[in-house]
Amino acid sequence: MSVALAERLDDATRDASSLRRFLAGLPGVDQVGLEQRAATLATRSIKQDAKRWAIDTAISMVDLTTLEGADTRGAVRSLCAKAVRPDPQRPDTPSVAAVCVYPDLAATAVEALAGTDVAVASVATAFPSGRSNRAVKLADTALAVDSGATEVDMVIDRGAFLEGRYGDVFDEIVAVKQACGDSHLKVILETGELATYDNVRKASWLALLAGGDVIKTSTGKVSPAATLPVAHVMLQAVRDFHEATGELRGVKVAGGIRTTKDAIRYLVAVNEVAGERWLTPSLFRFGASSLLNDLLLQRRAKQDGHYSGANYLPE
């Protein structure tokens, strides 16, 4: 695929109609085969030392998220404290990758996380629906970036995508990427609204071509959110994109991942589909809130030899 693809990639971004041609030319997803492979890989058993490693790796990949209308500055500050030291009684527990908040609370998170390795991610572009005009979306992005967020999670315009106005979606991502400056851009495809795996593949390539540093499954506000087959399709896209261009792009899965078992299944998928290289927080993330506590409980169970309880962890 790679050489021919590389040539086609240059051509793809020339204008809206060449983009449409490129996306239409992507091979269709074999739904049955994909789901079967995802299900088979999900049965793989990870035990003992490998599980210990997987738990710590997964913790370091978490984007600890709070995206509620009722978020307060106090809640964000305590979430930041938890992000830095997830399990205060076990100082060897790794910190999470980032804290993810709404843009108006990004400044609070930046202040609380100053001097730590934990990044601040902010959603933007009229999250979660993305229903607003370009100017508002860019202003939203600017608010996040000016507040000090080093990662921006944007949503694509699913309406435009489903109407087939790929060029508009592309231009919007490019504009937001520009507004991000040095900040990392994660592009949320909201796969639960894209209806087919073929669309997920198209949207993934579209976002990668437009310059998204990471493609992300979902906002967490729509069901179904992240699923293993969808993650497979997106991991294939970043792998093929890397083969064609040499550039490393990441994947973030978000929504509905609550247990260590789920998280480990995703890690297996990352290793098998994209490759070992992607098993790092800079290229793979979990967007989650309750997942972290389950990871910590399992970590404690491994260390203590008996099961622990949520009462022993901070909220």
Partner 1 sequence: MARSDRVGVAKTYKLYIGGKFPRSESGRSYPVTSESGAFLANASQASRKDLRDAVVAARSAFGGWSGATAYNRGQVLYRVAEVMEGRRDQFIAEVRDAEDVRPRTAESLVDTAIDRWVWYAGWTDKLAAVLGGTNPVAGPYFSFTVPEPTGVVGVLAPQRSSLLGLVSVLAPVLATGCTAAFVSSDARPLPAITLAEVLATSDVPGGVVNLLTGQAAELGPWLASHADVNALDLTGADPEHRTELARSAADTVKRVLRVPEQEPDWTSSPGIGRLRAYLEDKTVWHPMGV
Residues labelled as active-site residues: 153, 216, 252
With contacts defined by CB under 8 A, name the span among 46-54, 62-70, 148-156, 307-315 that binds partner 1: 307-315
Q: How far apart are CA 221 and CA 191, in angstroms?
A: 11
When the beta carbons of 4 and 307 are compared against partner 1, the nearer one is 307
When the beta carbons of 27 and 309 are compared against partner 1, the nearer one is 309
Contact 135, 176 (CB under 8 A): no
Q: Does 307 bind partner 1 (CB under 8 A)?
A: yes
Q: Does 18 bind partner 1 (CB under 8 A)?
A: no
Q: Does 312 bind partner 1 (CB under 8 A)?
A: yes
Residues with Cβ within 8 Å of 15's Cβ and at least 6 positions away in sequence, in order, are 167
When the beta carbons of 39 and 114 are compared against partner 1, the nearer one is 39
Residues with Cβ within 8 Å of 33's Cβ and at least 6 positions away in sequence, in order, are none
Interface with partner 1: number of residues (CB under 8 A): 9
Contact 279, 57 (CB under 8 A): yes
CB of 142 to partner 1, least distance (A): 41
Cα 143 to its chain centre, rounded Å, is 21
Nearest-5° Cα angle at 255, 251 to 260: 85
Q: Does 310 bind partner 1 (CB under 8 A)?
A: yes
Cα dihedral 20, 21, 25, 31 in deg (nearest 10): 20
Residues between 107 and 146 that touch partner 1 (CB under 8 A): none
When the beta carbons of 53 and 312 are compared against partner 1, the nearer one is 312
When the beta carbons of 32 and 47 are compared against partner 1, the nearer one is 47
Binding mask 256-295 for partner 1 (x = CB under 8 A): ----------------------------------------
CB of 199 to partner 1, least distance (A): 33
CB of 255 to partner 1, least distance (A): 20
Q: Does 311 bind partner 1 (CB under 8 A)?
A: yes
Per the rule left: phi > 0, alpha: psi between -120 and 50, beta: everything else, 162 is alpha
Q: Where are the alpha helices (DSSP H) in 116-259?
A: 134-146, 158-163, 166-180, 197-209, 228-245
Q: Does 305 bind partner 1 (CB under 8 A)?
A: yes
Cα 293 to its chain centre, rounded Å, is 19
Binding mask 31-70 for partner 1 (x = CB under 8 A): ----------------------------------------
Cα 281 to its chain centre, rounded Å, is 10
φ, ψ of residue 288 to 5 degrees: the values are -160, 160
Interacting residue ranges for partner 1, rule: CB under 8 A:
301, 305-312
